[in-house]
Structure 1
Amino acid sequence: MSSFTGKTILIVGASSGIGHALAQLLQEQGATLITAGRRQPEGIQSTHIEWDVTQPLGDAFAQLPEELHGLVYCPGTINLKPFQRLQPDDYQADFQTNVMGAIETIKGSFTALKKSKMASVVLFSTVAAKVGIGLHTSVSVAKSAVEGLAKSLAAEFATYGIRVNAIAPSLTDTPLAEELLEGDRREAANKRHPLGRVGKPEDIAAMAAFILSDQASWITGQVIGVDGGMGSLK
């Protein structure tokens, strides 16, 4: 039996990148998928909820099923600017997408997660929340808040059997990172990682699927680096 047969997973941001790779993987393993975002993911069989995470959730999640076994919040931002060029609006925009969207998602699905008594929530941070990287101030601030959110909720939700963890990737080859990997930039980015390459969406999706699975039933409150060694090695 596939490891996700009989399980219903909500993925916010499954139309591209890591979210899409995860949706494909879970679909292959028998999960029933609900997706939320601005557009229906291509090639994914899911009940789709149209929602822009920069806007209030409202009653968008009213159509969620009674029981959810997993929730993954994938939306993120890459807003790289020198500190002196960053404006308050930059920080607010990054915070809205990375943090407030996640908070709204969890609040909107909490009852269904609680019902399953064994749910798993997966959020996304960045290696830049652990390692100081120039030009990353705004995204590092937002993703550091995601890590705090994951740990705090893991403590609060443990009594309900809900696990909460965060994955902290390094640069991954997704549409969001396209400009950072153009031409000679890709080779330079590869060389910055001890394992000699940037991440693939499938690398991160595999970890997310593991954290969602029953095999990870004793893992909560963790920030797990999937970063080619960048977060720990010189």
Structure 2
Amino acid sequence: MLIKHDEIKDFMMQMTMPFNLKEDENLDRFNIGDSIHFNLTIEGKNSYAHNFKIIKNLNLEDVLEDDFWEQNPYDPVEMGDFISDGSFLDLDSNLVSLSDFDGDYIFLSYIFSRCPMPNMCPAVIVKNQYLAQKLNEFNIKFILLSFDHLYDTPSILKQSYEQLNNRFTNLIFLSSFGSEKDLNIISRQTGMSFWGIEDNDIGHTMRSILISPDGKLLSTYDGLDWEVKDVEKNIKEILSLP
């Protein structure tokens, strides 16, 4: 369930994000715009919201219109269509374009460094690490692009991910700092949404994509629960690998 929540002191800034629910939760009792109280439980790499109490209902017309880019001119591309090139910064502040990886497939995932939920951005990073290790002999690069174009500068990303970035030659962290236009174009074209960066109230969807060496969208992997072995198998099939 997508929830815009207040700051959780000493754990998470205010954000808009999807929460897992317990299997016996009755979704029919909720309406868009409900103001709620709830508990968040984290168990290992998993988390879920529960003990909901509905307080009141709010009018979200203006929020939805602002947050979800209804005025953005860039439409999602169809499978097999070309994705626009974009230029971003690596951990040493060097400008890197997607076209620089010409000849390689690209597995692109979106993250931001302050994501506190273990089953969201941190899990995506672990999954990419697994895939980078399993497919390190093939012509595919795994790019983790931060969409937090205000906070996640190269130096911020370097503090968190330099060791991992250096461990794998095919795993690359990129910052969108100073590249908001390119970020908006590519994320919109590939069907990934984020919002609230300027307000420090971040929300986002979860999506990874596979791009061909000539820049075409080949496959998408959505949500929190895709399994690395399934994606590994799918990538091998697309690359015609044994």
TM-score, length basis structure 2: 0.28
Which structure shows the bigger proportion of residues in strand conformation?
A: 2
